[in-house]
A = this chain, B = another copy of it.
């Protein structure tokens, strides 16, 4: 049975009200009583109940983090973990707590994410790794519960987003290749339906236009973000477009596939063919040669989401769409 405010009050010989005021730094308490109360609270090792406070204050100072399918071991996990780190860091700095939710587990509970939030009386949610076609996402996006979505351009009255500027990321990559002297630059994209694929393709085109390099539709190969598809794409490029001297892959995993293919065929990277990826996954540092790539500011995305959400909560700030600049990371594959 933990020590309550009542215990402190009794021990200090004052009323509960006074203890509450003293502990919360209200001005209408005499310095002596305040000191006395603080001392007693300290001695008793008193910790106010966040639960009780939440009940009466009607806010929990807790935000939910909704992550897609934590159960399955899919690709994007490291990405999500980094975002989570930034998020948690900033959120706790601002005096809030973070509670975890996963699509897989809440779904089997048969309650929607939103209902979960309502039960827990969460003040807000950050959503990440969710697919656009998830039946429940829109429920939270369109609800009045303040929310911020990572990596999906969903915006509404109570929902903002934070994402990487994929268009510019792709532009950075392609411009870098052009500056290295390449003119025939192929692109291996992810599946066409992914939002990021469309953006990265646009960046590719824009960079080419900007640099005065003609766009050749033949040089855009569609992959599916996997290493295997990267190898396959590289094979097409190698056999059908031997004049290509550089390839921009829309994901590092595909780029690694390209790298393996090149090694297998005895091609020198970057001399025979330059390769640049996208994402800056850990792996890129360890392959040979280390892979140039476009990095997303994952930690900062979490921080930014935290600040936006809590800004909405505390200062009634309007939700917004935030694009974070990606960074060009030059290693030895270009």
Asked whether A314 is an interface residue with its Cβ less than 8 Å from the other chain, the reply is no
Is the Cβ of B282 less than 8 Å from the Cβ of A119?
Answer: no
9 closest A-B pairs by beta carbon, nearest first, are A92-B105, A47-B118, A98-B100, A81-B81, A47-B119, A70-B85, A50-B119, A51-B54, A50-B120
Instruction: Kindly state the interface size class of chain A when it binds its partner.
Output: 35 or more
Residues of B within 8 A of A212 (CB): none
Minimum CB distance partner of A298 in chain B: B73
Residue in B65, B93, B98, B286 whose CB lies within 8 Å of A287: B286
Is the Cβ of B2 less than 8 Å from the Cβ of A118?
Answer: yes
Residues of B within 8 A of A97 (CB): 99-100, 120
Q: Which residues in chain A, 87-131, are within 8 Å of chain B measured between CB atoms? A: 88-89, 92-93, 97-100, 102, 104-106, 108-109, 115, 118-121
Minimum CB distance partner of A3 in chain B: B118
Q: How far is the CA of A100 from the CA of B100 in the complex (A)?
A: 7
Q: How far is the CA of A37 from the CA of B52 in the complex (A)?
A: 27
Minimum CB distance partner of A2 in chain B: B118
Asked whether A164 is an interface residue with its Cβ less than 8 Å from the other chain, the reply is no
**Could you pull out 28 A-B pairs where Cβ atoms are within 8 angstroms?**
A47-B115, A49-B55, A50-B119, A50-B120, A51-B54, A51-B55, A51-B121, A52-B55, A62-B99, A70-B85, A71-B89, A73-B82, A73-B299, A77-B78, A78-B78, A78-B81, A81-B81, A88-B100, A89-B104, A89-B105, A92-B106, A97-B100, A98-B99, A98-B100, A260-B288, A263-B288, A283-B283, A286-B287
Asked whether A311 is an interface residue with its Cβ less than 8 Å from the other chain, the reply is no
Asked whether A275 is an interface residue with its Cβ less than 8 Å from the other chain, the reply is no
Q: How far is the CA of A227 from the CA of B260 in the complex (A)?
A: 22
Q: How far is the CB of A178 from chain B (nearest CB, A)?
A: 29
Q: How far is the CB of A283 from chain B (nearest CB, A)?
A: 6
Q: Which residues in chain A, 283-334, are within 8 Å of chain B measured between CB atoms? A: 283, 286-288, 299
Q: How far is the CB of A29 from chain B (nearest CB, A)?
A: 22
Asked whether A214 is an interface residue with its Cβ less than 8 Å from the other chain, the reply is no
